[in-house]
Amino acid sequence: MPDKHYPTTFDALFEYRAKTEGLRYPWQVLKAIAAIESNFDPDARGQTNDLGLMQFTVPTWKDVMGGVPYEQATNPDLAVQAAARLLVRLETQILGYLERFQKRASDIERIRMVIAAYNCGPGYVKHAIRLVPRDEDLPRTTVTWAQVAEKLLSPGCVVRNRRPSPTVIEHVSRFRIAFRNALDDSGEFMQMLKWEHIQTQEKEA
C-alpha cells in the first residue's frame, strides 16, 4: 500500500509530456517531482521564489523555455513540459559525466542523480561523480547514488566557491517515496520492484 494517495488531476498531462519530450523514465517521475516540489499546487511559490507546479527559478526557466515568460511557470502544461524537457537534458548530462570519468550507473541509481541535479544543479552532481574513486583495474567503475551523495556533502564538492545545500540528500529520499506512491497509485508499483531487482542483479553480475 502507498504511504499516501495523490490526486490524479494532472496524470494525463504528466503522461503526455513525458511522451512528447522523450522522457525515458516512467511518467510517474514527473508526478513525484510535483508532489515534493509544490504538493500539486500550480500557483505555489517557494522560499527562494521558485514558481509553479514544478518549482522553476527564473534562470532555469529561461534556459529551458527560452522566450516563454516566467509567469507562465504557473501554467501546468508549460510547467510539466519544461520539467520533462529539463529531465531529458539532465539525464543526457549525467550520462555524459559518467562516460567522461569512465564510470557507469544503473538506471535506478542514475535517476537519483538526475533528481539531485534537478534540485541543486548539474554542476554539483558532475563534481561529485568525478570525486568518487575509480577502480583502475576496470574499464568503467560502477557508481551508486550513495557514493555520489557522500561526495556531494564532502568539503571538496565546490562549484564557483559555493557548496550544494545538504537538503539535496533529503530531497532525493523524498522523491523515492513519492515515486513509489505515484507508481502504486497507478497500479504500477510492481514495475519499480522489478526494475530495482533487475538493476541489483546487473550490479552483482
Whether pLDDT at 175 is above 60 = yes
Q: What is the DSSP letter of 72?
A: G
CATH number of 135's domain? 1.10.530.10
Answer yes or no: is 3 within a domain. no
Tell me the pLDDT band of 3, cut-offs 50, 70 and 90.
Answer: low
2 belongs to a structural domain:
no
- Average pLDDT value for the chain: 90
pLDDT tens digit sequence for 112-151: 999 999 999 999 999 999 999 998 888 999 999 999 999 9
Q: Which residues pair with 141 in a beta bridge?
A: 103
Within a domain: 44? yes
CB contact at 8 A, 52 and 73: yes
In-domain check, residue 4: no
Q: Which amino acid is at 39?
A: N
Q: What nine digits make up the cell of 108?
A: 535506478
Tell me if 120 sits within 8 A of 165, measured CB to CB. yes
Question: Average pLDDT in the 43-55 region?
Answer: 93
Q: Which residue has the cell 527559478?
A: 57
* Residue 193 pLDDT level (bands cut at 50, 70, 90): low
pTM: 0.88
Q: Which domain holds residue 61?
A: 11-204
What pLDDT does 5 receive?
79
Domain count, the chain: 1
